[in-house]
Amino acid sequence: MNLQPQIQLQALGRDQTVSPPRLLNHLGSLPPPPPPLLRSSSLLPNLAFGSSQLLLQQRPFSLSRKPNTRYQGVLQTVAVYSGNKDYVAESPAKTLRKILDSPGTHQGPACFDALSAKLVERAGFQYCFTSGFSISAARLGLPDTGFISYGEMVEQGQQITQAVSIPVIGDGDNGYGNAMNVKRTVKGYIRAGFAGIILEDQVSPKACGHTQGRKVVSRDEAVMRIKAAVDARKESGSDIVIVARTDSRQAVSLDESLWRSRAFADAGADVLFIDALASREEMRTFCEVSPLVPKMANMLEGGGKTPILNPLELEAVGYKLVAYPLSLIGVSIRAMQDSLFAIRSGRIPPPGSMPTFEEIKEILGFNSYYEEEKRYALGSNQLSSQRVSSSLYGFQRTTQDNTEQRDQSPQDPIVEVITPDVYNNYGADERASPFLGIWSRTLRIKITGRDGFEKLDVRIPAGFLDQVTDIVPALGGVNIKALLDDAADEVGGKLLWEFNDSMGDRIQIFLE
């Protein structure tokens, strides 16, 4: 009997089962990896690179190569971040599935924007949820009663997923319509970067899970939503985790919620979730349904219908994931109320109630930004000759020395331009030149913003025609030469042309 452990290897587009020695031979053909930098996660295997062997233990961690390299596909064996540019990280959904496959109950606070998600990650959590309740509160200032739309949730979710590296499970509400809408919602959440999506069986408009007046769709429609979600996942070539939620415990009965959970599992849901279970006994009964499918608990802080259990108690009951939907939005509301009361009373919030300015900058990434910015800093020798732009419509001039320049304030943006070299280029010093009359006049270009504030007021020699569009690109289609010919004998101050550009700014050209 062959007792040697086997390792599943996906490479070159086909599945192979190989033993560790054969795997080592395969890896030996790859470029030697640098000393591994292991992520700080309990999920990672224990591994070490020795002089002649690679030790692999526990569950594998995928590492994939970019397309068009010698090895394509996924090596689901090595849990190591490599500096080799040919390697890319696994998808958020794959990371979330490893969390589901790992022992224990895993806590996931619910965020509502990019900053709260970053704080969850900095606190050391392996994943997080988005809360429709909290996003509706933070983004709209409205209750979670169906006001928030699919587009707003996707947009908010994309900002959240881009701000963190941990997987995020998105609140997909009831899919925002029928089965076809559910498919669109799932595909949109996949594109937004979510690792998972929660879909519920409420009617529209939906309601928060622990509030009154909830209603659910029929059994058949509820199951069809999950089937549509599974189909959307397949069509997208994704492995997003589908969390099937039922609100039928409060809307109908416990038995109904248990029946729907079994049906959701049969339809292909990856995680089951009954919201607003009313006792520890009901929670235990739920966890016995479809025992191979992970269960999710919702610990509604502040007084929901479900008993609040600690992680060890939840693990003993049988839960795999646990959400904390209101902690971050709740403490944020109270902290803002307290701060506003202090300011209203003529004080500022006490030091212990908020981070220092330096801590805030660190949280937001200012220090990392400054460090990276140094890579692109210009040396002093590169600044001796620089091109200066006066505004969006500004002209450019070259300065070769540090001669004193005229001070200008935003209230006095007039710029005088003297370009003697251009006179010679156009033969302005020759009596027979056709430009002789033009050079005796001046063009004044004035731009007033749609808000009424002056953006530019510049005077240039009238013969400087070829460069006018450098100042105002919108003048590219205006025959200024013809305007000058028509106004050759006009007195100074004549308005030659006036129009509004595509940004709503008023552009005026005067002959002086």
pLDDT at residue 475 in the model: 65
pLDDT category of residue 467 using cuts at 50, 70 and 90: low
Residue 87 pLDDT exceeds 60: no
CA distance 489 to 275: 84
Which CATH number fits the domain 96-333, given the four candidates 3.40.50.10240, 3.40.50.620, 3.20.20.60, 2.170.190.11?
3.20.20.60
Mean pLDDT on 375-382: 71
Q: For residue range 278-291, list pLDDT tens digits in order.
A: 999 999 999 999 99
Block residue for tokens 């996660």: 41
Q: How far apart are CA 371 and CA 367, in angstroms?
A: 6
Q: What is the pLDDT of residue 507?
A: 85
Angle 487-490-492 (CA atoms, 0-180°, nearest 5)?
115
422: left (phi over 0), alpha (psi -120 to 50) or beta: alpha
Residue 489 vs residues 28, 346, 438, 483, 511: alpha-carbon distances, Å: 86, 67, 11, 12, 11
- Whole-angstrom distance, CA of residue 5 vs CA of residue 22: 12
- pLDDT number for residue 442: 79
Distance CA 426, CA 131 (A): 68
Average pLDDT over residues 82-104: 79
Cα 271 vs. chain centroid, distance in angstroms?
25
Mean pLDDT of all residues belonging to the chain: 76
Tokens of 371: 């460090």
Decide if 66 contacts 86 (C-beta within 8 A). Answer: yes
More confident residue, 452 or 197: 197
Q: Is the pLDDT of residue 455 over 50?
A: yes
Q: Give per-residue pLDDT as tens, 25-41.
A: 444 444 444 443 333 33
Beta bridge partners of 128: 168
pLDDT of residue 437: 56
Q: How far is CA 11 from the centre of its chain?
A: 31
Residue 491: band (very low, low, confident or very high) from pLDDT cuts 50, 70, 90:
low
Helix axes 150-163, 179-191, angle to 10 degrees: 20
Asked if pLDDT for residue 64 goes beyond 70, the answer is: no
At residue 159 the predicted structure's pLDDT band, cuts being 50, 70 and 90, is very high
What digits encode the pLDDT tens for the residues 200-227?
Answer: 999 998 876 666 668 999 999 999 999 9
3-state class of 153 per DSSP?
A: helix
Structure tokens at 155: 């947009």
Query: Structural domain boundaries of the chain?
Result: 7-90, 96-333, 348-377, 386-511
Q: Is the pLDDT of residue 472 over 80?
A: no
Q: Give the three-class secondary structure for 55.
A: strand
pLDDT of residue 503: 75
